[in-house]
Amino acid sequence: MDARLLRIAVLLAGLGAALLCADRQIASGDELLVNGGFEAGTTGWDAPYGELTTVSSPVHTGSASGRLAGDPPDQLVHQWVDVAPDQPYEFSGWILLDDPSIVKVFLRINWFDDEGSPISPVESPWLAGSNGSFRFVTTGPHVSPPQAHKARLNVWVQPSGPFQLYLDDFSFTGSPPPSPTATPTPFPTPTPTPTPSPEPSAAPTTTPAPPPPEPTTTPRPPEPAVFPSLVNGGFEEAREDGSPYGWHNVGGALSASQTLRAEGERSAALASDTASTKWVYETLSVQGEAYYRLQALALKNDPGVREVLLRISWYDTTDGSGSQIGTADSEPLADDSPRFVALDTGPVQAPSQARSARVRLLLRPVSPASAVAYFDDVRFGKADAPGREDADPPANRLASQDGGGAGDPEGVSLGAWAKGTTLANERPAPQPQPTPDGGGRLLWPLLLALGVPAAALATVAGHAWWIARLAERNGGNL
């Protein structure tokens, strides 16, 4: 009886170990992220809004972690990877959020097709509340869309003030993209030797086939004169001439640049070769007395550019025509920087009679010499009114020497941010609990692997104890 129970215990222990190994195999996948533990500095990562550095403490594992510091509005750290379509992937990492100025943090996977066009993203549950320990966050496994070829992996932060947080042990696992296969070189087919005809014969008369019909194309609808909200704020969509869809320029030359960009595949490049101020603009419908906010990333790294800034111009017409009735500017960016810098008007109130607004991205050159500035990730939408403790928003001024007035060209629709303004997953999903091995997976395989053998051994021990007690009662005779 004891030997049989011992065999059963050994069998169950082996079953538990097999279950644990099976869980490891199912959860495993190729690591596609570069420098997820920040042991190689910030290599592979980019933080277009804030400052990303590495520190030796605090860390989750290893000798370094990433430290992100910045100010409102939203901040992010991201990395690009190649992916395969229709394959499971998971993005995860450990975050130390102990700063009360952070409202929430979450992870986002942005999928892109082979032409760089965005596909619907996926997000993790958000992390909130200060805690002095690293906490695990994961998107969970998600299958990439059928058109996906690239993914941008984002750690997204929504702060209410200046902040800092720490990142460590990030991972993006799944199937690597397929390696390109070389096209085999076809062998030349030998030309057969023609067989002479015994008698030449007259060639039959053939009627030439009619030419194939011209392909029909569906004409693209014309751009609206006014957009209800910002479109193409990332300048990813281009017209047939290559210029950003929806955007127009006054002075200078406007083009979509793939060389210098803050996010996505393109930015807007505004080039100047005269001494006058140039700007890119867009016309949007607005509501009088409502609060709005204009934000964008700008790259000023040309000594020929004196400064760049953002401007909202208000109009009492519905199409941005006529004279502007007021403006609100961001702080100008006058210092050269090799990185994109965030510009922000802050919340500003539209005049009561405002019916439309032109969103402007301005470049003021130093001289008639050639100069260029870049803009990306433009956002415009309604905002909360500033609190009493906040500084007064930029004053609405009448038309200045830079901004339009009666001489402005007719307002044409201007971009709206196609990605929307809601950046966080607002569902109050439960937070995943960290596991002893740092994988963030459920504990049941480990508990099963350890609990089943323990239960079996306990059964054997209990049976032996019962036999011993029975022997005592019978005076040593069973």
Are residues 282 and 246 in contact, defined by beta-carbon separation less than 8 angstroms? yes
Name the average pLDDT for the chain: 78
One domain, residues 168 and 285:
no
Percent of the chain past pLDDT 90, that is, above it, reads 50
All residues at 6 or more sequence positions from 50 whose CB lies less than 8 Å from its CB, including other chains: 68, 69, 70, 71, 75, 77, 157
Identify whether 196 is part of a domain. no
Distances from the Cα of 115 to the Cα of 118, 259, 462, angstroms: 9, 15, 67
Distance between CA 250 and CA 265 in Å, rounded?
24
One domain, residues 43 and 151:
yes
Among 125, 151, 174, give the residue marking a domain's end: 174
| Cβ burial, residue 382 (10 Å; 0-12/13-18/19+) | middle
In this prediction, residue 455 has a pLDDT band, given cuts at 50, 70 and 90, of low
Task: Evaluate if residue 30 carries a pLDDT over 80.
Answer: yes
User: Highest mean pLDDT: which of 207-216, 357-366, 394-403?
Assistant: 357-366
Q: What is the pLDDT of residue 114?
A: 84
User: For 104-108, 164-168, 205-209, which range has the lowest pLDDT when averaged over its residues?
Assistant: 205-209
Query: Greatest CA separation found in the chain?
Result: 123
In this prediction, residue 248 has a pLDDT band, given cuts at 50, 70 and 90, of very high
Q: What is the pLDDT of residue 399?
A: 34
Q: What is the pLDDT of residue 208?
A: 60
CATH code at position 158: 2.60.120.260
Among 174, 190, 211, give the residue marking a domain's end: 174
Mean pLDDT confidence for 75-100: 95
User: For 50-54, 191-195, 407-411, 466-470, which range has the lowest pLDDT when averaged over its residues?
Assistant: 407-411
Distance between CA 130 and CA 234 in Å, rounded?
33
Identify whether 229 is part of a domain. no
Looking at this protein, which amino acid is placed at residue 37? G
In this prediction, residue 407 has a pLDDT band, given cuts at 50, 70 and 90, of very low
Identify whether 163 is part of a domain. yes
Among 382, 399, 432, give the residue marking a domain's end: 382
Distance between CA 389 and CA 160 in Å, rounded?
14
Q: What is the pLDDT of residue 74?
A: 80
One domain, residues 44 and 132:
yes
Identify whether 318 is part of a domain. yes
Distance between CA 413 and CA 266 in Å, rounded?
20
Tell which wins on pLDDT, 371 or 399: 371
Task: Evaluate if residue 370 carries a pLDDT over 60.
Answer: yes
| Residue with the two structure tokens 């959020």 | 97
Distances from the Cα of 273 to the Cα of 198, 243, 364, angstroms: 77, 18, 11
Task: Evaluate if residue 397 carries a pLDDT over 70.
Answer: no
Tell which wins on pLDDT, 60 or 386: 60
pTM of the model: 0.43
One domain, residues 255 and 147:
no
Distance between CA 160 and CA 68 in Å, rounded?
15
Q: What is the pLDDT of residue 228?
A: 87
Q: What is the pLDDT of residue 6?
A: 58
Q: DSSP 3-state helix, strand, coil percentages of the chain (rounded to 5)?
A: 10, 35, 55
Question: Which helix H or strand E contains 20, and what residues bound it?
Answer: helix 2-27
One domain, residues 34 and 170:
yes
Cα angle for residues 410, 291, 106 (degrees, 5° grid): 110
Task: Evaluate if residue 28 carries a pLDDT over 90.
Answer: no
Burial 194-216 (b: 16+ CB within 10 A, else e): eeeeeeeeeeeeeeeeeeeeeee
Q: What is the pLDDT of residue 476?
A: 53
Distance between CA 424 and CA 108 in Å, rounded?
9
One domain, residues 279 and 363:
yes
User: For 21-25, 34-38, 182-186, 293-297, which range has the lowest pLDDT when averaged over its residues?
Assistant: 21-25
User: For 98-102, 227-231, 240-244, 460-464, which range has the lowest pLDDT when averaged over its residues?
Assistant: 460-464
Task: Evaluate if residue 277 carries a pLDDT over 50.
Answer: yes
Six token digits for residue 458: 């306990």
Tell which wins on pLDDT, 60 or 193: 60
Identify whether 252 is part of a domain. yes
| Cβ burial, residue 291 (10 Å; 0-12/13-18/19+) | middle
One domain, residues 260 and 142:
no
Q: What is the pLDDT of residue 137?
A: 97
One domain, residues 252 and 355:
yes
Question: Which helix H or strand E contains 6, and what residues bound it?
Answer: helix 2-27
Tell which wins on pLDDT, 403 or 345: 345
Mean pLDDT confidence for 247-274: 89
Q: What is the pLDDT of residue 117?
A: 78
Identify whether 455 is part of a domain. no
In this prediction, residue 136 has a pLDDT band, given cuts at 50, 70 and 90, of very high
One domain, residues 140 and 261:
no
One domain, residues 35 and 169:
yes
Q: What is the pLDDT of residue 22?
A: 41
In this prediction, residue 439 has a pLDDT band, given cuts at 50, 70 and 90, of very low
In this prediction, residue 215 has a pLDDT band, given cuts at 50, 70 and 90, of very low
Mean pLDDT confidence for 416-437: 37
Cα angle for residues 469, 470, 471 (degrees, 5° grid): 90
Domain that holds residue 358: 248-382
User: For 175-189, 439-453, 458-472, which range has the lowest pLDDT when averaged over its residues?
Assistant: 439-453
Structural domains in the chain (count): 2
Identify whether 170 is part of a domain. yes
Q: What is the pLDDT of residue 236?
A: 87
Q: What does DSSP assign to residue 48?
A: S
Task: Evaluate if residue 220 carries a pLDDT over 60.
Answer: no
- Full 3-state SS string of 237-292: CECCCCCECCCEEECCEEEEECCCCCCCCCEEEEEECCCCCEEEEEEEECCCCCEE
In this prediction, residue 240 has a pLDDT band, given cuts at 50, 70 and 90, of confident
Percent of the chain past pLDDT 70, that is, above it, reads 66
Cα angle for residues 89, 95, 98 (degrees, 5° grid): 155
Are residues 144 and 85 in contact, defined by beta-carbon separation less than 8 angstroms? yes
Distance between CA 318 and CA 446 in Å, rounded?
64
User: For 190-204, 223-237, 272-286, 336-350, which range has the lowest pLDDT when averaged over its residues?
Assistant: 190-204
Identify whether 203 is part of a domain. no
One domain, residues 157 and 252:
no
Distances from the Cα of 234 to the Cα of 150, 220, 308, 412, angstroms: 17, 21, 18, 18
One domain, residues 165 and 267:
no
φ, ψ of residue 446 in degrees (nearest 5): -65, -45
